[in-house]
Structure 1
Amino acid sequence: MKRAILVTALLMAGTATAQTATMTPDIGTPFNAVTAEADYIRREVMIPMRDGVKLYTVIVMKKGTQDGPILLTRTVYNAARNTSRNPSQQITEILPVSDREFVTDGYIRVYQDVRGRNKSEGDYVMTRPLKGPLNPTPVDHSTDAYDTIDWLVKNVKESNGNVAITGSSYPGFTSLMALVDPHPALKAAVPMSPMVDGWIGDDWFHNGAFRQTMLDYFTGQTASKNDGDPVAMGRRDYYAEYLAAGSAGAYVEKYGLDQLPGVRKLMEHPAYDSWWQGQALDKILGGRPLTVPTMLVVGQWDQEDSYGAPAVYRALEPKDKDNKLLSLVIGPWRHSGVNYDGSSLGVLRFAGDTGLQFRRDVMKPFLDSHLRANAKPFDAPPVLTYAVGADRWERHDRFPAGETVNLYLDDRFSLSLNAPAAKSAHDDYVSDPAHPVPFVPVPVNMRDRPMWGAWLVSDQRHASTRPDVVAYVSAPLQAPLQIHGQPEANLFASTSGTDSDWVVKLIDVFPEENSDKPELAGLQLGIGMEIFRGRYVKGFDTPGPLTPGKAERYRFLLPGVNHVIPAGHRLMVQVQSSWFPLYDRNPQTFVPNIFHAQSKDYVKATQGVWRDAVRPSHIAIPVVGGAAAAKAALGN
């Protein structure tokens, strides 16, 4: 009886409670998700910079963390999204998979939106230069990193006061910027696939050739403060769309991209002038002391920023007298692939998850040794590379570990270790801008992320059979050949036009039969591939017309590799004059600014690849074991 009376009273009380009005807005009231069972703490703070601008910052750690080292990433890729990837009560679910080994062992993970992006205040300038001639303001990514670290060590009570910085691509760039004038609490840095020089070999240009497909990136980054959409071009075949538009500048005008200041800046600086030179981070860091232990990381098949990490290594290595402060790591990855499952890339399969192997067995012990008082000592490898083809990690004291051997283009479209003796010899092909060589088979959908991530390991047979591509092939190797370093193209080439692009590809040709792995049969796998815009043969800052019919020497580095070519495979070198639509077409007529080339400027040209005693085109390859190993493999 008493229980019935109590239930009735409770029901009457509920009826008497004021009800929510029907027209109360259902969106607008702040909602704080209840994480009653969460194993983590997640804080959002606005950290003030020296100019008063506040930067949105998310701090995440396991509950109960004490004396935790801080791992910081300064990003343009949405700090809120990076720290709430899944609506979960588990820290390993809300953060990227690459954070797992760190946060489960007491690290405090911090992500911050750089100024002007997403939830941070201030003005956004793409790859904001250091304060100085190009930046008259008192702030840059170096000062913002310093102010952020200063705030974190003073206000995150769970930390031990030691900070490391990491990040890939643009966050790799901001990681390097933190080293310009490092905060005393910054104890280590792991920049991954960093943007270092956007003209020489990262994102925007490669040796002067414009990577026009990156225009989608500019709309995503600068059309609004938040994450934007790609160019609304409708058609999905980028090859047909860019070809129909004409020049890269015409494409920009067609879609109104010239409204974006960042795009205008690129078009106003087509040559390597003081504007680009003043932002080259390898040169900037090379002029400063190396005080923070730094581990540079890049993928052998990084399709976006293959240049930066090796360039910074070359600039800083002379300062590391005892091999204690600087490391270079090259893994079998695409761009930023180190942060994901590294078991495979395209049709290639490796010995386990190489990304996890690096993060767990190298990166974390490296950071522990610098950020934790009682950590085990870690002997950081000066150079750590994954030997593709042998499926093993290798430690070396220097990069390159190979000794230079010249691989010459020879007659009958062959390759030889012997320099040519002919007085005059060349192979010709016709390059037609109306039918450029695609970088992958058409149709080209740049929004296909799997294609874009793995395109550098895609089969090059689609190009080798074209009449506007010349291919030189060795006999089957008699012994394994290991290339460790950056091959250098030394191409003697002529054109009937007054400008030209030159693409050189060093390729591992698999045997025609492979019953165990049929997907690899006959594969033409790019070891290293790169482009050079001919007008810059006399100097990157001094473009000029080419003399028709005159052979010029073009020297440029291919990406860094550790690649073992097994016996029975063959080596191939391909040469071509377009790589479309990844790179804009060279009209093959010299014009002051290719962005503004007109349809009449695009002409066919006869291209000559020279291979004689005076003009011996070759690839200088760094071979482990030097000339003896090369002769054992190639037999000549």
Structure 2
Amino acid sequence: MFDRLLAATAPAALMFAALAALAAPAVAQKDPGAPGDEHPAKLKLADDGYGYTRRVVDIPMRDGVKLHTVIALPAHAHDAGMLMTRTPYDAETIATRDPDVYASWSGNPDTADDPITAGGYIRVFQDVRGMHKSQGIYMMNPAPAGTPFNPTKTDDSTDAYDTIAWLVKNVPESNGRVGVIGISYDGFLPLMALVNPHPALKVAVPMNPMVDGWRGDDWFHNGAFRQQMMPYMLSQDGTRDADTPWIAGQADDYDYYLKGGSAGAIGKAQGLDQLGFWNKITQHPAYDRFWQEAAMDKVLAKRPLTVPTMLVAGLWDQEDMYGAPAVYKALIARGTPTSMLYLSVGPWWHGQQARADASQLGAVKWDQNTAKWWRAHVLAPFLAHYLKTDAPAMDVAPVTAFQTGTNQWQTLPAFPAAGAAGVPLYLKPGGALGFDAAAGPAETRDYISDPAAPVGYRARPVKALYATGSTWHQWLTDDQRSVSGRPDMAAFETPVLTAPVTISGAPQVHLTASTSGTDSDWVVKLIDVYPDGKTGGREMAGYQLAVAMDIFRGRYRDDPAVARPLASGVPLKYDFALPNTNHVFLPGHRIMVQVQSSWFPLYDRNPQTFVPNIFFAKPSDYVAATQKITVGGPDESYISLPEVK
């Protein structure tokens, strides 16, 4: 959610602008337009160079609150479909400046091949309640109205409904057909529009949507808190204009968060305890009703899907990789027909599919511009079919998925691919890994996890997510050799593969392990190890590409809603899913599994001593612990791969 390179470069820019303003000397300000002032009272922007005209309106909602809305009409618009993006990231900025999927103008060379621009749609951008120029109160990703954690009578579903009702009555250039589209937080909002859709809503495209902030999206992953999201919380929840700066004393976030102590202590030092959302999440560190009632996969599974919807997911989405597949899975389980539900899965970082180029991600190249192909062959015909009056035919499969390794697109009836079945990949003594169980009695692979020197999630220095030069968007494809030699982790590797291993879906972790502490985190990584320099290409020789990896907070082993201490020194079972993948391990490659107990500073440190709330752990609570992974024997650890034969 913090990676708003499509919908919200504005908050990051505003953050840095605010820092600059703090350092600048105070200058007496005049009222705009006053005698001698060179600024006009109100600047009117020229429309000619953009190929569209703008209408700015404040649309009244059912409770009288007005939401600031920018309507961008292409030149000579007539009988045109409307495509709406609701956002907390400043509708004015998005409508006039950002290209990508939000493009509105035909004269911008950066969007010459953009299907939205080429489609001639009327674009609508709206500030959500309480943000920028919209009235009302703001709540971060609020649960539906009427639930205990949203006591108001309105939500993003009712606001979408009321906005669409106004648009179809007041935009005569339209054909009365409306679509909703957005990425991340702006992808959560199309999902809310589906809760009680207006009859004029004909299509929805939630891209990389924020769905469940505890299970695997922005705020937590399986109970482990993503503390590098705290600057976003301060900016977004601090003021209506999302311009509160985060000021850190170190250039390396590893140093900053380590010296700061617990996430709660850092939050207090930065003033987050003044924010409603921060106080909510620190009061709800477990998966209780606060999270469950706001989880959009659960919300949407309670009702039939009546609007054709295309969910879009990135295989290396560094922010919201959980959401789209979770909604897809929930709606398929409900019996939603494939004529109503579509899924696109690409080799992308958060929202990369909507940018100009996606021929590679970090060091990994895909042999084609995957984003351009997807926009032209999937997104464009899908939108046209439902938004244009003549409803041109489309040939879009229920699932369009990119298979990495072979680097080719697949059209599938469902995801995971047909035939995917769990095949155990066993962790063995001596760092071995294989599809046959280990012979002999149980053994352990041991390492010491020390919160005073946590394992980093990427090579240092670790820049703040949006610092100059940050490559946050590609970190999930970073070479894992940066940590594979550390003594405080365990690595297991197969022999060189002689045949391809194809997987599709979510690998399942079945880890048996003990800790000398009373709480522990477990990070498990499934890795494709490229051939060395003698048998493979030079650029990727020996590269360790993480295909799927995630973290699990041990205190939620029995119940995600209830934290319990771990029995010290007792081997316990930890079962959890890794993110979805669609990959082929090629002959000549190896498969590796890495296990560690910290992923810092993206995730807060587990003190490894059980405390009621890790947000407020004291320095004395953080202790080193001996971790023992069971390899071999009846309770040996393994990864269940969704292998396609």
TM-score by length of 1: 0.92
- Counterpart check, 1:345 vs 2:399: no
Contact 1:222/1:228 (<8 A) preserved: no
Contact 1:82/1:95 (<8 A) preserved: no
Cα deviation code 1:149-183 (max 9, x no counterpart): 11111111111111111101001101100111111
Structure 1 residue corresponding to 2:549, chosen from 529, 533, 558 = 529
- Counterpart check, 1:105 vs 2:123: no
Contact 2:508/2:578 (<8 A) preserved: yes
- Counterpart check, 1:404 vs 2:422: yes
Q: Displacement of 1:100 after TM fit? A: 2.8
Contact 2:427/2:632 (<8 A) preserved: no
In structure 2, do the counterparts of structure 1 residues 98 and 359 end up closer, same or farther at CA, with 3 Å as the change threshold? farther
| 2:371 aligned residue | 355
User: Equivalences for 1:86-165 in 2 at 5 Å?
Assistant: 91-92=105-106, 97=111, 100-132=114-146, 133-165=148-180
Question: How far apart are the structure 1 equivalents of 2:235 and 2:106?
Answer: 28
Contact 2:524/2:596 (<8 A) preserved: yes
Segment of structure 1 superposing worse, 222-231 or 283-292: 222-231
Contact 2:234/2:245 (<8 A) preserved: yes
Which amino acid in the other structure matches residue 453 of structure 1? H
Structure 1 residue corresponding to 2:518, chosen from 490, 493, 498 = 498
Q: Displacement of 1:538 after TM fit? A: 0.7
Query: What SS does structure 1 have at the residue aligned with 2:471?
Result: helix
In structure 2, do the counterparts of structure 1 residues 539 and 38 end up closer, same or farther at CA, with 3 Å as the change threshold? closer
Query: What SS does structure 2 have at the residue aligned with 1:236?
Result: coil
Q: Displacement of 1:262 after TM fit? A: 1.4
- Counterpart check, 1:311 vs 2:326: yes
Q: Displacement of 1:351 after TM fit? A: 2.7
Which amino acid in the other structure matches residue 456 of structure 2? P
Which amino acid in the other structure matches residue 556 of structure 1? F
Query: What SS does structure 2 have at the residue aligned with 1:249?
Result: helix
Query: What SS does structure 2 have at the residue aligned with 1:221?
Result: helix
| 2:30 aligned residue | none
Query: What SS does structure 1 have at the residue aligned with 2:591?
Result: strand
Q: Displacement of 1:45 after TM fit? A: 1.2
Query: What SS does structure 2 have at the residue aligned with 1:330?
Result: strand
| 1:605 aligned residue | 625
Query: What SS does structure 2 have at the residue aligned with 1:64?
Result: coil
Query: What SS does structure 2 have at the residue aligned with 1:104?
Result: helix
Q: Displacement of 1:390 after TM fit? A: 1.2
Q: Displacement of 1:96 after TM fit? A: 8.2
| 2:605 aligned residue | 585
User: Equivalences for 1:43-58 in 2 at 5 Å?
Assistant: 43-58=55-70
Which amino acid in the other structure matches residue 228 of structure 2? T
Structure 2 residue runs without a partner (length 5+): 1-32
| 1:481 aligned residue | 501
- Counterpart check, 1:388 vs 2:400: no
Cα deviation code 1:93-116 (max 9, x no counterpart): 669849932222221111111111
Structure 2 residue corresponding to 1:443, chosen from 461, 485, 491 = 461
Which amino acid in the other structure matches residue 489 of structure 1? V
Which amino acid in the other structure matches residue 504 of structure 2? H
In structure 2, do the counterparts of structure 1 residues 619 and 505 end up closer, same or farther at CA, with 3 Å as the change threshold? same
Q: Displacement of 1:192 after TM fit? A: 0.7
In structure 2, do the counterparts of structure 1 residues 86 and 187 end up closer, same or farther at CA, with 3 Å as the change threshold? closer
Which amino acid in the other structure matches residue 46 of structure 1? D
Q: Displacement of 1:420 after TM fit? A: 3.0
Query: What SS does structure 2 have at the residue aligned with 1:265?
Result: helix
Q: How many residues align?
A: 604
In structure 2, do the counterparts of structure 1 residues 543 and 246 end up closer, same or farther at CA, with 3 Å as the change threshold? same
Which amino acid in the other structure matches residue 496 of structure 1? S
In structure 2, do the counterparts of structure 1 residues 35 and 187 end up closer, same or farther at CA, with 3 Å as the change threshold? closer
Q: Displacement of 1:34 after TM fit? A: 3.4
| 1:513 aligned residue | 533
- Counterpart check, 1:371 vs 2:387: yes
Segment of structure 1 superposing worse, 367-376 or 500-509: 367-376
| 1:293 aligned residue | 308
Structure 1 residue runs without a partner (length 5+): 1-20, 626-636
Query: What SS does structure 2 have at the residue aligned with 1:143?
Result: helix
In structure 2, do the counterparts of structure 1 residues 47 and 90 end up closer, same or farther at CA, with 3 Å as the change threshold? closer
| 1:210 aligned residue | 225
Which amino acid in the other structure matches residue 428 of structure 1? D
Contact 2:83/2:123 (<8 A) preserved: yes
Query: What SS does structure 2 have at the residue aligned with 1:214?
Result: helix
Which amino acid in the other structure matches residue 561 of structure 1? T
Contact 2:404/2:582 (<8 A) preserved: yes
Q: Displacement of 1:404 after TM fit? A: 1.8
- Counterpart check, 1:25 vs 2:43: no
Which amino acid in the other structure matches residue 442 of structure 2? S
Q: Displacement of 1:403 after TM fit? A: 2.1
Q: Displacement of 1:517 after TM fit? A: 4.4
User: Equivalences for 1:402-481 in 2 at 5 Å?
Assistant: 402-446=420-464, 447-448=466-467, 450-481=470-501
Question: How far apart are the structure 1 equivalents of 2:112 and 2:625?
Answer: 49
Query: What SS does structure 2 have at the residue aligned with 1:41?
Result: strand
Structure 1 residue corresponding to 2:80, chosen from 68, 74, 80 = 68
- Counterpart check, 1:179 vs 2:199: no
Query: What SS does structure 2 have at the residue aligned with 1:520?
Result: coil
Contact 2:131/2:240 (<8 A) preserved: yes
In structure 2, do the counterparts of structure 1 residues 514 and 286 end up closer, same or farther at CA, with 3 Å as the change threshold? farther
Which structure has the greater CA radius of gyration? 1
In structure 2, do the counterparts of structure 1 residues 515 and 482 end up closer, same or farther at CA, with 3 Å as the change threshold? closer
Identity among equivalent positions (%) equals 50
Q: Displacement of 1:477 after TM fit? A: 0.8
In structure 2, do the counterparts of structure 1 residues 22 and 436 end up closer, same or farther at CA, with 3 Å as the change threshold? closer
Contact 1:494/1:609 (<8 A) preserved: yes
| 1:34 aligned residue | 46
Q: Displacement of 1:552 after TM fit? A: 1.4
Cα deviation code 1:367-401 (max 9, x no counterpart): 21222242332243222111112121101122211
Contact 1:82/1:96 (<8 A) preserved: no
Q: Displacement of 1:35 after TM fit? A: 3.6
Please provide the CA RMSD for this pair: 2.0
Which amino acid in the other structure matches residue 149 of structure 1? I
Query: What SS does structure 1 have at the residue aligned with 2:123?
Result: strand
Cα deviation code 1:165-205 (max 9, x no counterpart): 11010011011001111111111111011111101111000
Cα deviation code 1:59-87 (max 9, x no counterpart): 11221111111111111121111111179
Query: What SS does structure 2 have at the residue aligned with 1:73?
Result: strand
In structure 2, do the counterparts of structure 1 residues 186 and 501 end up closer, same or farther at CA, with 3 Å as the change threshold? same
| 1:17 aligned residue | none
